Amino acid sequence: MNRRKFLQWGALTAPLLSFKSPGFFQKPIVVSTWDSGMPVNAEAWKVLTNNGKSLDAVEAGARFIENEINCCVGLGGYPDRDGIVTLDACIMDENANCGAVAAIERIKHPVSVARMVMEKTPHVLLAGAGAQQFALENGFTLEPQTLSKEAENAYEQWLKKSEYKPVINIENKKENGPFAPPFFEDGSANHDTMGLLAIDATGNMSGAVTTSGMAFKLHGRVGDSPIIGAGLFVDNTIGAATSSGVGEEVIRICGTHLVVEYMRNGYSPEMACKKACERIIQHDREKAKQIQVGFLAINKKGEYGAYSIQKGFVFSVKSNKENRIVPAKYFFG
């Protein structure tokens, strides 16, 4: 087969590779990472059902969880190894406008600072002290540098060994070790990164991510979450994706950009997420068995899907027809 014929064949077969995802053709819709996405979706839904924009919806959802003081997102999150909470967030709209903040300290709503970076500056990403300065100059308040009770307990535990081993928990193991998320009394886990993707009534798509990042990380470490194309990517003509898990592995493959490109080539959201996980596994299968990465995606039709390396990744969906937590398929159980 010559190259030209091969390319034609590729174009013809691409739609056949579009497997049916568990979602329906629907808008408005919001999907978000983890079971903690349920109340987050509810907040975003208020905006979406009020004829609001998807951008406002994802920001509202992210702000909701940033307010939760005993959560792994926002100022209630786990600190780095120096005992300081540093936050990462980003936001992206239907016109490829995007903004992000990385390693910002003592600011309650990093997602809104990210939006301000997008709307008020010619830049995409502000980091560290500069991001904080920008936030303060734009009306945000400097919060006290304290740890939530959960975070303080976990940090004290971690300090006993001070082992620098930044492994992201694998949820199904439910070990309450230093790298496991805090578990509530009812046994549910209070998970890390919140990534949300929404389509509004007009069909426009946006996404946002907010996190305190990997627990006990090196001071200044930044993961995938605020990196456009790694932790979040939106292409309004195709779809959007977000991720959670070991950020370094997601950055290495430009994870969410890759997921969206797979969807562009005809894959369903679930298959696109699966193929991105596969890419990580191909790098180092043995290493991949030790870590968790999950991708969540939605396409232009409102079909959604997710896939993770390990068992345990779940996501939340809210639309006119659905309001539920969905377990993602996975490679290693």
d(CA 83, CA 121): 31
| φ/ψ bin of 15: left (φ > 0), alpha (ψ from -120 to 50), beta (otherwise) | alpha
Kindly report the number of other CB atoms within 10 A of residue 285's CB atom: 11
How many Å from the N-terminal Cα to the C-terminal Cα in the chain? 40
Length of the chain: 333
- The CA angle 168-171-172, to the nearest 5 degrees, is 140
Task: Report if residue 74 touches ligand ASP, rule: CB under 6 A.
Answer: no
The least distance separating ligand ASP from the CB of residue 313, rounded to whole angstroms, comes to: 10
Size of the site for ligand ASP (CB under 6 A): 13
- Pick the closer one to ligand ASP by CB: 45 or 233: 233
Which is nearest to 269 in space by CA: 229, 227, 292, 300? 300
d(CA 319, CA 22): 13
All residues at 6 or more sequence positions from 185 whose CB lies less than 8 Å from its CB, including other chains: none
Catalytic-role residue among 193, 211, 242, 256: 193
Q: Find how far residue 120's CA is from the centre of its chain.
A: 24
Task: Report if residue 35 touches ligand ASP, rule: CB under 6 A.
Answer: no
Site string for ligand ASP, 89-108 (x = CB under 6 A): --------------------
Would residue 193 show up in a list of annotated catalytic residues for this protein?
Answer: yes
- Pick the closer one to ligand ASP by CB: 23 or 213: 213
The least distance separating ligand ASP from the CB of residue 73, rounded to whole angstroms, comes to: 9
Tell me the backbone φ, ψ of residue 164, rounded to 5 degrees.
-85, 90
- Pick the closer one to ligand ASP by CB: 110 or 213: 213
Task: Report if residue 224 touches ligand ASP, rule: CB under 6 A.
Answer: yes
Site string for ligand ASP, 227-256 (x = CB under 6 A): -----------------xxxx---------
Asked if 79 and 202 touch (Cβ cutoff 8 Å), the reply is: no
Site for ligand ASP, residues 143 to 172, rule: CB under 6 A: 168
Contact with ligand ASP (CB under 6 A) among 105, 150, 192, 270:
192
Contact with ligand ASP (CB under 6 A) among 37, 74, 178, 213:
213
Catalog residues that contact ligand ASP under the rule CB under 6 A. Answer: 168, 192-193, 211, 213-214, 223-225, 244-247
Catalogue the active-site residues: 193
